[in-house]
Every structure is written in structure tokens, then in C-alpha cells.
Amino acid sequence: MKETLAALVAAQRLDERLLVLRRRRASLPAELSEREAGHAVLEAEREEAEVRRKAALVRARELENEVRGLEERLARLEAKSRTLRDAGAVQVAQHEAQEIRDAISRAQDEELQLLEDADRLAGETTELAARIEQSAGELAAFRSRVETDAAELDAEIAELEGRRDARLGAVPNQVAETYRTLLDKRQGRAVAPLKGRSCGGCGMAVPPNDQLGVINAAKLVRCRSCQRFLVPLEVWSPESSAAEGSSPPPQRS
């Protein structure tokens, strides 16, 4: 029976390691997705800046054409006003000319601002392009590391699963099946040590007769609360059994 208990403990140790490795393996795609999302943000920022830069240049050209048209209109109006003799007509022409000059000034100011914005956005796109190039290199290196880590983890997981299955192959089929069921139900812990007079898994008190069964390794004993297999401390952790095994043996009820 002690060999069965030792096999269960060995399987438990391997499953604990497997739990850590599987969690690490499962985290790799999320880590890669996070890096890819960061790279995509940079690309989106560059694309947006480039769209805004082009829009600024298009609008600046439109304003340039508008200014040219206004200047031509102003020239015609000024030429016409020089031929006018009526004071009222001259005043109207002068007022209209001033409105055109104001419109030209506003358009030129807006055009200048748009050209400055386009220059600034060109600088941003250049900077973002450099950051994207660096990010692409880092992402490629990270993706390669993820692929390597995934392959190594898959290999280690497969190796440990083989060792775990070999351990469970040394115990009766029903015991192995119960172990697997408990592993899923009890957060990866199907086996627990008897600590003093309590279950080392859930902390509940173990009846005296069950304590004797565990200590003597005479039979398979399961905690009546959490259903985990209970093993003596010397099987669970031989190096600590001497320190914790000094409590008096239970009395048979």
C-alpha cells in the first residue's frame, strides 16, 4: 500500500509542476497578442497622422486657389473703382474691396497654419515610422521567443505527462480514475498529507480510526470532507516527517 501512496504523491508532484507549466503555456498567446496590439496602435497612429497631413495639404491648396481667385477679383474691383465718378459707388466698391482683403488675409492665415500643421504631422509620421520599425523588430524577436518557449513547454509538458501517467499506471485503475477526478475538482490537489490530526488539504479533523489507517499505510484513506487521498507525512515529505511526526498516535475508537 505504501507503494501506491508513494505513486500518488509522485503523480501529485508532477501534476503540480504541470499546472505551472500549462498556465505559462496558456499565457503565451495573450502576451503575444498584447505586443501585437501595441504595434498595431503605432501603425494606426502613423496612418491617422498621414491622413491628417494629406488633408491639411489638400485644404491648403484649396485656400491657395481661393486666395488667387480673391486677388484677381480684388484687382478687377480696384480697376473698376478707378473709373467710377459717383462718390456713393466708390464707397461701395471700397467697402467690398476691404471685405475681399479681409477674406484674403483670413485664407492666408489659415493656409499658413495648415502648412505648419502638415510639417508637424510629417515629423510625427517620420518619428512613428522609426518607432514602428523598431517595434516590428522587437515583435519579430518576441514572436520567435514565444514560438521557442511554446515548443519547449509543449515538450516538457508531454514528458511530465508521460511520467505522471507512468506513476498512475502503478496504482489500481479505479484509484487512478478517482485521482484524476479529484485533481479537477480540488484545484489540482488530489492528495494531501495528514498533518497532526487534520487533513493537510482542507484542514478538517480526521477521525482517529482514519488517522491510524493513514499512519500505518494499511489502506487507502480519503478525507471525509474534501475527499482527497490522505498520506502519512513520511510519504508526503520524508525530510519533514521527523520534525512533525512527534505528535502522539491517535487512540482507536
- Per the CB < 8 A criterion, the answer to whether 140 and 11 are in contact is no
**End-to-end CA distance of the chain, in Å?**
23
Residue 246: the pLDDT is 39
What's the one-letter identity of residue 228?
Answer: R
Distance (Å, rounded) from C-alpha 33 to C-alpha 89? 73
Residue 238: the pLDDT is 61
Burial (Cβ within 10 Å: 0-12, 13-18, ≥19) of residue 103: middle
- Sequence-separated (6 or more) residues with CB below 8 Å from residue 47: none
- Sequence-separated (6 or more) residues with CB below 8 Å from residue 96: 77
Strands (E), 172-231: 191-195, 198-199, 221-222, 229-231
Residue 251: the pLDDT is 40
Residue 243: the pLDDT is 38
> What is the residue-level pLDDT of the chain in tens, covering all 253 positions?
889 999 999 999 999 999 999 999 999 999 999 999 999 999 999 999 999 999 999 999 999 999 999 999 999 988 888 888 888 888 898 899 999 999 999 999 999 999 999 999 999 999 999 999 999 999 999 999 999 999 999 999 999 999 999 999 999 999 999 999 999 999 899 999 999 999 999 999 999 999 999 999 888 999 999 999 999 999 998 644 333 343 444 443 3
**With b meaning 16 or more CB within 10 Å and e meaning fewer, what string describes 74-102?**
beeeeeebeeeeeeeeeeebeeebeebee
pTM: 0.70
Instruction: Collapse the DSSP code of 230 into the 3-class scheme (helix H, G, I; strand E, B; otherwise coil) and give the result.
Output: strand
Residue 22: the pLDDT is 96
Distance (Å, rounded) from C-alpha 120 to C-alpha 116? 6
Q: What DSSP designation does 219 have? A: S
- Please, what are the domains in the chain? 1-170 (1.10.287.1490), 173-236 (no CATH)
The DSSP result for 69-114, as a single string, is HHHHHHHHHHHHHTT---HHHHHHHHHHHHHHHHHHHHHHHHHHHH
Distance (Å, rounded) from C-alpha 176 to C-alpha 170? 9
Q: How many beta carbons lie within 10 A of that of residue 181, not counting itself?
A: 12
C-alpha neighbours within 13 Å on the C-beta side of residue 61: 5
Residue 74: the pLDDT is 92
H/E stretch holding 175 reads helix 173-185
